[in-house]
Structure 1
Amino acid sequence: MDLDAYVAEHNAEWLRLDELSRRRKLNAAEADELVALYQRAATHLSLIRSRSPDPILVARLSRLVLAARNALTGAPSFSLATVGRFFTHTFPLAAYRAWPWWCGVATAFSLFTFGLMAYIAANPEVAGYFLTDDQIQDLVNSQFEDYYSQYLPQNQFLRVWTHNAMLTGEVLASGVIFFPVVYLLFQNALNTGLIGGVMIAYGRGDVFFGLIIPHGLLELTAVFVGAGVGLRIGWSWVAPGPLRTRGRALAETAMEGMLIALGLVAVLLVSGLLEGFVTPAPLPNIIKDFIGFLVWCAFLAYVFVLGRRAQLEGATTGIEGEVPQEALPTA
């Protein structure tokens, strides 16, 4: 396809489509013209995507097609029903579809972390390669425990919520090139295993698990979901399947990933509340751990029960009102 010639041939139609899409009122003839130009622009977009996917031109035509569709159908309005459906169908379904990925990440992370924790607990001198004696004593005697009470609960909640949301966003977005996810997970597993091993070696294992379990189960699971989804996005362009192009596979999987990222913001809000208000609370550790365990189990049940139900019902993760790629005219 000669892209320059194609643009020169159809540019006047695209400009006319843009003009009609911006008008607030159209007469009958102009409305018919808008429909015809919209259909033709959608065809042009499909052809360019499949034969000569110039990113700038694809972006321009995508904007034109979306603007024309909104002019024809009206922009979608806010609806509580749509929000409710997101949390009862869309998010759990998207997370359920990706469960082999994030469960695999959780398994690898846990094996490495607990293995390192056990090794350092049995060989405390190894911690000396990472921390000085003063740092170890400070960590064991006060630093780890004081971390969860050094800020007011509401400040600690907002602090960890934004931090964990950033970390989860990083592992999800960087999954497309694989290696940053592995590095970020390794770094966090190393820190957790090292601190846990030191605390256990010096007889403070009860403090470590008593303070990390209430929020850590849900918090780490959210990070695992983000990392697993990120790796799934990356794998989509490596192995797109027999019926999809690499670009289409990446776009579809990334769209699901963005929906999961949106849902994880709410999940991390809950874990932030636990860390801000439950972890430092003057309650026995067993009670705080039980609260964290119940919330974690509730999240897993939410994903696997509602996600599986949505899949059996034939629900999709598409945005309401979106025109699927296969529905666009191609000739």
Structure 2
Amino acid sequence: MAGHATPGGRRVEGFIDERSDAWAELVALLGRARGRVGRLPVEDALRLGDLYRATAADLARARQRWPGDPVVGELEALVGRARALVYRAPERRTSFVRWLTTGFFRRVRERPGVLLVAALLFWGPTVGMAVWAHGDPATATRVAQVSGLASGAADSANQGGDSRDRGLSTTQSASVGSEIFVNNIRVSFLAVALGLSGGLLTGALLVFNGSVVGVIVGLFVAGGAADVAVSFLAPHGVLELSLVTVAGAAGLRIGSALIAPGLRSRAEALVAEARAAGELVLGVALWLVPTGLVEGFVTPQGLEPAAALAVGLALGGTFWALVWWRGRPEVTPPH
């Protein structure tokens, strides 16, 4: 740093001459650290802290005595760089196993309000449309044409058949279950991506797909195939639709960061929530694997409704039990 002509120029240059070696040493240590104190030997790391505190004191002195001198700005920049390194929070490296058994479930549980909103947006239309479709199957069949999935299910539910399959062969029922599974995978990932709309499109997606599921269930029941619906949708559906809800919550978290970042800047909030959403969608993808296995190997067996419901509740119950148990916030011991 060079001296500058000011009314008190002699004193400024004397100050710079006296302290410039220490500042140069601090600059050199920052360069060697390359953003991480851990790259420095212990002695250099301790020296970095000493130089940072001394330079911060120099900055305070310069601000008081020569507030208009360019040396103040140069010191502010140097102190800012050093502060960011000295007080940088240590990186906590979490193993994949720990994340899978604990971290993911904490992500699911840490924003219960957003999770509740996602559940209402999805399950509210599901229940409402199921009741409506059961009461007015003719209109519901026409409405179902807006979705290829719902349309196919409506056609299958309305087919005639013997009393055992209630209009659906095992192949047809398994096909409907497979279509719903693939659709829910697509919806889960799309729900997160649409969070960039401020959460509006994520909410619309949840409402739409909840309505589709409701229409399908309502038409099955209206067609006298309630037992078939349970047998071929319940084994994998309870967990599957739970995961859709979690994915929806992930998208809403991104939306909330854009609309209401709180005390954080919008950029900081978006980075934090995008990371959380990424972890959530990865966990959802992994948990979709067992639903696919059940859909592929258990559902086609045509279980009795009670057994099918037991399998579905066991899978879904296990997931939410883990969210409650493993998702508890980490307790920090008092100092």
2: CA distance, partners of 1:252 / 1:163: 28
Gaps of 5+ in 1: 1-30, 41-64, 70-75, 316-331
Residues 34-57 of structure 1: CA distance to partner in whole angstroms, max 9, x if unpaired?
Answer: 4255479xxxxxxxxxxxxxxxxx
User: Equivalent of 1:140, from 130, 144, 158?
Assistant: 158
> Is the 8 Å Cα contact of residues 167 and 223 (structure 1) preserved in structure 2?
yes
Shift of 1:209: 2.2
1:169 aligns with 2:224: no
Q: 1:102 to 1:150 in 2, by over 3 A?
A: same
> Is the 8 Å Cα contact of residues 144 and 215 (structure 2) preserved in structure 1?
no
1:307 aligns with 2:332: no
1:179 aligns with 2:225: no
* Correspondence for 1:240: 261
2: CA distance, partners of 1:85 / 1:289: 31
1: CA distance, partners of 2:274 / 2:254: 6
Q: 1:232 to 1:131 in 2, by over 3 A?
A: closer
> Is the 8 Å Cα contact of residues 174 and 230 (structure 1) preserved in structure 2?
yes
Q: 1:168 to 1:144 in 2, by over 3 A?
A: farther
Shift of 1:170: 0.8
Larger RCO (CA under 8 A, 6+ residues apart)? 1
| RMSD (Å) for aligned C-alpha atoms | 3.4
Question: What is the identity, as a one-letter code, of the residue corresponding to 2:212?
Answer: N
Q: 1:273 to 1:194 in 2, by over 3 A?
A: same
Shift of 1:281: 1.5
- What are the residue-to-residue correspondences of 1:107-146 with 2, within 5 Å? 107-130=120-143, 136=154, 138-141=156-159, 142=167, 146=171
User: Equivalent of 1:278, from 282, 298, 312?
Assistant: 298
2: CA distance, partners of 1:33 / 1:111: 56
Q: 1:314 to 1:144 in 2, by over 3 A?
A: farther
* Correspondence for 2:249: 228
2: CA distance, partners of 1:182 / 1:116: 17
Residues 153-201 of structure 1: CA distance to partner in whole angstroms, max 9, x if unpaired?
Answer: 9xx6xx8776543321110121121232133223312221222222111
2: CA distance, partners of 1:214 / 1:221: 13
Tell me the SS of whatever aligns to 1:280.
Answer: helix
Tell me the SS of whatever aligns to 2:301.
Answer: coil
Residues 101-147 of structure 1: CA distance to partner in whole angstroms, max 9, x if unpaired?
Answer: 22322233222221111122122232243358998554333568534
Residues 72-92 of structure 1: CA distance to partner in whole angstroms, max 9, x if unpaired?
Answer: xxxx9xx9x812111122111
> Is the 8 Å Cα contact of residues 102 and 226 (structure 1) preserved in structure 2?
no
Q: 1:223 to 1:34 in 2, by over 3 A?
A: same
> Is the 8 Å Cα contact of residues 160 and 272 (structure 1) preserved in structure 2?
no
Aligned length: 241
| Same amino acid, percent of matched pairs | 26
- What are the residue-to-residue correspondences of 1:66-215 with 2, within 5 Å? 82-130=95-143, 136=154, 138-141=156-159, 142=167, 146-150=171-175, 164-177=184-197, 178-215=199-236
2: CA distance, partners of 1:259 / 1:33: 32
Question: What is the identity, as a one-letter code, of the residue corresponding to 1:84?
Answer: V
2: CA distance, partners of 1:171 / 1:134: 23
Residues 190-219 of structure 1: CA distance to partner in whole angstroms, max 9, x if unpaired?
Answer: 221222222111211121122211111110
1: CA distance, partners of 2:29 / 2:152: 78
Shift of 1:282: 4.1
Tell me the SS of whatever aligns to 1:240.
Answer: coil
Residues 226-256 of structure 1: CA distance to partner in whole angstroms, max 9, x if unpaired?
Answer: 11121111111221112x1110011011111
Mean Cα deviation higher: 106-115 or 259-268: 106-115
When normalised by structure 2's length, the TM-score is 0.63
Shift of 1:314: 4.3
1:293 aligns with 2:320: no
User: Equivalent of 1:261, from 271, 281, 288?
Assistant: 281
Q: 1:279 to 1:37 in 2, by over 3 A?
A: closer
Question: What is the identity, as a one-letter code, of the residue corresponding to 2:298?
Answer: V
Tell me the SS of whatever aligns to 2:290.
Answer: helix
1:35 aligns with 2:32: yes
Shift of 1:149: 3.5
